[in-house]
Chain A
Amino acid sequence: MKRRTFFKVTTTLAATLMAGAAFAQDNIIVGAVAPKTGPLAGGAAVTHWPNIKLWVDEVNARGGLNVGGEQRMLEVIEYDDQTNPAETIKAVQRLATQDNADIILAPYSTGLNIAAAPIFDRLGFPQITSSAATDQIGELSGQFNDMFFLLGRSTDLAEDAVEVLSDLREAGEIGNRVAMVNVADAFGIELMAVAKPAVEAAGFELVYETSYPLGTQDLSPIMKAVKGADPDAFVAWSYPPDTFGLTEQAMIEELDVKAFYTAVATAFPAFAGRFGAAAEGVMGIGGVNTASPEFMDYAARHEAATGAKPDYWASGMMYASLQILEEAIETTGTLDMAEVTQFIKDNAFETVMGTIDFDDQNSNTAYWTVGQWQGGEFKGIKETGRDGAVEPILKTGWE
């Protein structure tokens, strides 16, 4: 490039940026950072980014947020953290100090949220996490007072799945033989570590157990071994690619179990999109009350605005986190984040996922833990204090 052209390009760029800054005077700057590239980009594209677009479009369509009697439009600045915690931290800093963001939205995933916690805490922004599942809620909120947790404890997610199996056995619907596998990566290992003792304590016979590395392409040996062990129930603490892979192998092997559970991504609309009627009866992590008018309305708006359905687990929680922020800002009538945070701590909120009332550890204690595909929807069947759980059904074949 010639030096003069380069100069021209940079000056045009600078002028555009400056014009943008001048225009933004009265807008509320909303900072958003989450993966657009890297291992978690796929999940964020389903659960995280569409909700931000939906919320901002809706708020702006009705004239913006009401802050102390003044209507102010939202303007989003988005950054890609490349699924790298150091980039998340830097982007949050940049949003706060370079872009003068008025609000910064919590990042995506357990790891990136926890890495960003000290920065949110120091900058004084409330961090309402909707995709972080951890057992360290007490320690984290003790150290970072502005950190909130919507998705719940990982232990509950695993223990409740085992409880669903126990209930089915007590009802005489399934037998005593369980096959359980896990992906050998952070969350998969953690859930297995909780579930294995729970399965044994519940008196199940663990007829097959194994783990496989993250990114395993050929899962057919595992499913063959599972089938050989002749279980009554199959549980996989899996990640998105293997959730799909294991289900596909189960279909090929015609695995004959009455309860079939896969973890992360079972709640994605793409799961039913891929397996169609065969998804019927598959259980997985998450769930929602699909019959609630609030959720139905939200799902319809989500699809209209973004062209895709929300997932049946964290999507609604992500949107709920935005609703909470919106209500806190409009009711307090301020962008003073200390006041907004205090309001979030002190009040209960009506959201698309139902009422959310944080406890003294900033934790939402009422959430969905297990869902199941029934009639084309992933319905919540187990929760820690939500209304609308439906009865689980048995898995009957893969047709």
Chain B
Amino acid sequence: MKTQDWKNLGWSAALLVVAALLPLTNDGYLISLGVSIAMYTVLATSWALFSGPTHYISLATAAFFGIGTYVMGSGIEHLPYWVLLPIAGLIGGVIAALVGLATLRLSGVYFVIFTLGLAEMTRQAVTWYQNQTGHKGTYVLTELTDPDIYWQLLGLAALVFLLGWAIGRSKLGFALRIIGDDEDVARHVGINTALSKIALFVVSGATAAIVGAMIAPRYIYIEPATAFTPMLSFQVVIMALLGGTGRLWGPLVGVIPFTLLWEAISSSFPNQTTLLLGLSFLAIVYLLPGGFVGLYDRLRGRAKKRSAMA
């Protein structure tokens, strides 16, 4: 590793420690904001690991999140909490692999539509199963509090960042970047494009499932409508794009301002939330096409040019 890598790692670790201190403020409101930010950071970053380099827009986040929620909901009576987290990840990963095998040959808009349908399909499957078995409500009653959930999400975020960093340096990451630039070229130089895409899709699916399992104790009462809400998929995409998917830290700088903006809108204009949110989206798309990462790169490029001129 280069000195620069060590320096980045050090900075990241320091930031993580600072973030982990948030619950010490003992401010419930800040902590619940923190849970939101941590949750979307994990989801958006893992989403960008797959969609960033490949340019495949996946709207399946809600499907995997919901699967994780239901793994926790149906398993908590029988198995310890800590066992259920990896099980949720495993199930999410296996389903992502199956879905990936079936669909990653699709390109562009077909893939988007399929992933959007996936959340609804999974939701219907869960409902069908409950209906067949005469289900009487799913409850996840635990002793876990918001700070516990926050720390868990933070830990998961650290893992996702490490994984993303490792993938970025590996052959796999290189292969994915080539696929993103031109899939035909990638295939011609001997890259197994399907396998590379599936591998990353599995990572993001498993991660979303684990997040769902971690959030389940917070909702306590699990309903298909809240576990599989399609809004989640869209929010993750918007946050990741706002930040920019070109860099590992991109989604993070999208998640934080977006969550704060959302918060400001819903607290100041409770009756016009959706309207103002729509306007913000328009503004983001028009003013920040490459997200914050794009803006940063443009500004840096301009600064470089200027210093070169001088």
Contact = CB atoms under 8 A, between A and B. Distances in A.
Interface of A: 13, 17, 36-37, 39, 78-80, 82-87, 89-91, 93-94, 96-98, 110-111, 114-115, 117-119, 122-123, 134-136, 139-140, 143, 154, 182, 184-186, 189-190, 192-194, 196, 211, 213-214
B135 A189 contact: yes
Interface stretch (B8-16, B56-64, B213-221, B237-245): B213-221
B267 A98 contact: yes
25 contacts: A37-B273, A79-B266, A82-B231, A85-B218, A85-B226, A86-B218, A90-B29, A93-B31, A94-B29, A97-B27, A98-B267, A111-B225, A114-B220, A115-B220, A118-B145, A118-B146, A122-B28, A123-B28, A136-B137, A143-B141, A184-B127, A184-B131, A186-B225, A189-B134, A194-B136
Contacts of B270: 36, 78-80
A119 B31 CA distance: 12
Contacts of B36: 86, 90
Contacts of A189: 127, 130-131, 134-136
Contacts of B137: 134-136, 154, 186, 190
Interface string B199-227: 00000000000000001001111011110
A115 B271 contact: no
Contacts of B218: 85-86, 89, 115, 118
Contact of B273 (A80, A193, A196): A80
B271 A80 contact: yes
B29 A97 contact: yes
A298 to B, nearest CB: 27
B192 interface: no
B107 interface: no
Interface in B5-61: 27-29, 31-33, 35-36
Given A87-B266, A186-B137, 4 more contacts: A80-B271, A90-B32, A110-B221, A118-B218
A85 B28 contact: no
Contact of B136 (A94, A118, A135, A214): A135
Contacts of B274: 37
A134 B229 CA distance: 22
A90 B33 contact: yes
Given A84-B229, A185-B225, A115 B219 contact: yes
B226 A111 contact: yes
B307 interface: no
Contact of A111 (B31, B219, B267): B219
B128 interface: yes
Interface in B127-168: 127-128, 130-131, 134-137, 139, 141, 145-146
A13 B226 contact: no
A98 B124 CA distance: 39
A192 B224 CA distance: 17
A93 B127 contact: no
B267 A79 contact: yes
A185 B228 CA distance: 13
Contact of B28 (A86, A93, A114): A93
A311 to B, nearest CB: 21
A345 B265 CA distance: 38
Interface residues of B, number: 40
Contacts of B29: 90, 93-94, 96-98
Contact of B141 (A13, A78, A115, A139): A139
A139 B142 CA distance: 11
A314 B263 CA distance: 30
A36 B271 contact: yes
A111 B135 contact: no
Contacts of A143: 141
Contact of A190 (B33, B127, B135): B135
A344 B215 CA distance: 32
Given A86-B36, A89-B218, A98-B267, A136 B224 contact: no
B120 to A, nearest CB: 10
A211 B127 CA distance: 11
Contacts of B170: none
A97 B33 CA distance: 12
B309 to A, nearest CB: 28
B268 interface: yes
A93 to B, nearest CB: 4
A89 B39 CA distance: 15
Contacts of A184: 127-128, 130-131
B223 A111 contact: yes
A89 B33 CA distance: 10
Nearest to B215: A86
A114 B222 CA distance: 10
A111 B216 CA distance: 12
A122 B225 CA distance: 26
B147 to A, nearest CB: 11
B140 to A, nearest CB: 10
Nearest to A195: B134
Nearest to A132: B221
A96 B267 CA distance: 13
A89 B139 contact: no
Nearest to A99: B267
A91 B268 CA distance: 12
A110 B139 CA distance: 12
A213 B267 contact: no
Contact of B268 (A13, A114, A122): A13
B266 A80 contact: yes
B70 to A, nearest CB: 12
A89 B135 CA distance: 26
A15 to B, nearest CB: 14
B273 A82 contact: yes
Contacts of B27: 97
A213 B124 contact: yes
Nearest to A134: B137
A96 B28 contact: yes
A336 B229 CA distance: 38
A117 B220 contact: yes
A353 B267 CA distance: 34
Contacts of B215: 86
